[in-house]
Amino acid sequence: MEPMAADKPAAPAAASPPLGRVLMLAAQAWSGFQAGQSLDRALDAALETSRGASAALAGALRDVTTTAVRRFAVTEFLLTRLAHRPPDPDVRALFAVSAAQLLAGAYPDFTLVDQAVRAARAREATAAAAGFLNALLREFLRRREELVREAEQDPARHGNVPPWWLARLHREYGARRTQEILAAQNEEPPLVLRVNVRCTTVPAYLDQLAAEGLAASRAGESAVWLHRALPVERIPGFTEGQVSVQDAGAQLAAALLGVAPGMRVLDACAAPGGKTAHLLELGDCSVDAVERDPERARRIDANLQRLALTGPRARVLVADARHPGRFWDGRPYDRILLDAPCTASGIVRRHPDVVWLRRPGDVAKLATQQAKLLDALWPLLARTGRLLYAVCSIFPEEGRQQSSSFVERHPDARIVPLRQGEPGGWQLLPRSAQTAPMEFDYSKQPVFQDGFFYALLEKV
């Protein structure tokens, strides 16, 4: 079968990279993701194969591949209905990224199919199957309504999560809230900035954005929501250290820790240093930022440098926080932040790949690791000192259950209530920017935040 004729080709913006090339690279990234790579790693690997890729190409590649991951469950289902036998992995990848674009409706159907077929012909691995791909996509277009309806009857497929993930959410949150969580997770995440209060203020920065014609609004104490996403290098004041990119929910950590001038603070799992920098911006404290991964630790240094926060107040230490003997000088800390490794189930809208890369057993494994970190760090805290336990997760094993079993193990610990009715800690759920009210009291709960759990533990 021939590719669909493009009688009225879509007019891409002058700087838009060719769609066929984007689809081809997205299919490569998709294959990496299928092989177990994180989306970021798979995108980097795909870009490496394309020498001299422009920023526009990299941006389009990210958009197309992310859309495909957000539609993973449905496109997999479509293949089972459209193909009599599973296609070769390279063809499957090209089908997945192309069908996801058809579902998203970002391009006219005929343009998309035409470009997908060209992409298939351009690679040796897929050239022979170009006709087959064309047939699959055209058949999908013919039966789109019926197939999409059938696909979405299954709630896990509709929410783009594996059944075990859905069952966990149901168990904890019930059907209605689970649906809200899944809807929020499948949306474009908002671009939220943290204003560096050492060099400017939120109102002054909002004025600066307005002067440059950029719509924005306040989304927290130091948080600004930029209504249209921009690459970081084009965000006003980013290179000069006036702002950083950080979700509004993540920005709560430094405030909750309650740091005062002169305090000694340990940031135990620190890279890439978003919260370390925020702590240093807020108060004249000193921070030991501990990170196990040396490469990621270099990102803390780079961030502190951009924000002009390097100096004796900030020490970056490469060490495993479970073994304090390797980095601790024996002097107690007044505050400890443990932003522990977790399933990332609260930040799926930013990392849609995590739901497919995680396995059910990971939740218990990570919960054990978090408990070990908590137990190892508790002796480093001064009496009356406070430790903020944070995870970007919405699974109770990593949140409420973790903090409750910690206080059972440690009679000298109490949980400081952060919100009424949540004695075991504060579970923030991901919220949708579209449905949130625009007027809000940002001292309570910001509207655009990702899913986080916070428990403030005090040594009594």
Ligand X SMILES: C[S@@+](CC[C@H](N)C(=O)[O-])C[C@H]1O[C@@H](n2cnc3c(N)ncnc32)[C@H](O)[C@@H]1O
Nearer to ligand X by C-beta: 25 or 287?
287
Q: ∠49-90-105 over CA atoms, to 5°?
A: 90
Closest by Cα among 192, 252, 155, 173 to 436: 192
DSSP secondary structure letter of residue 392: S
| Minimum distance from residue 39 beta carbon to ligand X (Å) | 17
Is residue 346 a contact residue for ligand X (CB under 6 A)?
A: no
Is residue 320 a contact residue for ligand X (CB under 6 A)?
A: yes
| Minimum distance from residue 301 beta carbon to ligand X (Å) | 13
Distance of alpha carbon 169 from alpha carbon 162, whole angstroms: 11
| Minimum distance from residue 292 beta carbon to ligand X (Å) | 4
* 392 included as an active-site residue: yes
| Minimum distance from residue 46 beta carbon to ligand X (Å) | 24
Site of tokens 């929910």: 249
Is residue 374 a contact residue for ligand X (CB under 6 A)?
A: no
Binding residues with ligand X: total (CB under 6 A): 17
DSSP secondary structure letter of residue 346: T
Tokens found for residue 36: 């177990």
Q: Which of 118, 123, 292, 298 binds ligand X (CB under 6 A)?
A: 292
| Minimum distance from residue 155 beta carbon to ligand X (Å) | 29
- Decide: 265 and 333 in contact? Cβ < 8 Å: yes
* Residue 385 burial (CB count, 10 A): 20
User: Interface with ligand X by CB under 6 A: which range of 18-26, 91-99, 237-245, 320-328?
Assistant: 320-328
User: Interface with ligand X by CB under 6 A: which range of 89-97, 139-147, 287-295, 426-434?
Assistant: 287-295
Q: Which of 190, 236, 273, 396 binds ligand X (CB under 6 A)?
A: 273
Distance of alpha carbon 421 from alpha carbon 419, whole angstroms: 6
DSSP-based three-state secondary structure for 397: coil
**Strand residues in 203-327 grouped as ranges (E):** 216-218, 223-226, 243-245, 264-267, 286-291, 314-318
CA torsion 309→312→313→318, rounded to 10°? 90
Nearer to ligand X by C-beta: 248 or 269?
269
Distance of alpha carbon 318 from alpha carbon 295, whole angstroms: 9
| Minimum distance from residue 321 beta carbon to ligand X (Å) | 4
Range 230-269, binding ligand X (CB under 6 A): 269
In the complex, residue closest to ligand X by CB: 269
Burial (CB count within 10 angstroms: exposed 0-12, middle 13-18, buried 19+), residue 350: middle
DSSP secondary structure letter of residue 353: T
Q: Which of 275, 335, 351, 431 binds ligand X (CB under 6 A)?
A: 275
Q: Which of 60, 321, 377, 415 binds ligand X (CB under 6 A)?
A: 321
Is residue 123 a contact residue for ligand X (CB under 6 A)?
A: no
Q: Which of 270, 348, 354, 456 binds ligand X (CB under 6 A)?
A: 270
Is residue 291 a contact residue for ligand X (CB under 6 A)?
A: yes
User: Interface with ligand X by CB under 6 A: which range of 186-194, 317-325, 397-405, 422-430?
Assistant: 317-325
**Strand residues in 205-348 grouped as ranges (E):** 216-218, 223-226, 243-245, 264-267, 286-291, 314-318, 333-339
Active site residues per annotation: 392
Interface contacts to ligand X, rule CB under 6 A? 269-275, 290-293, 296, 320-322, 339, 341
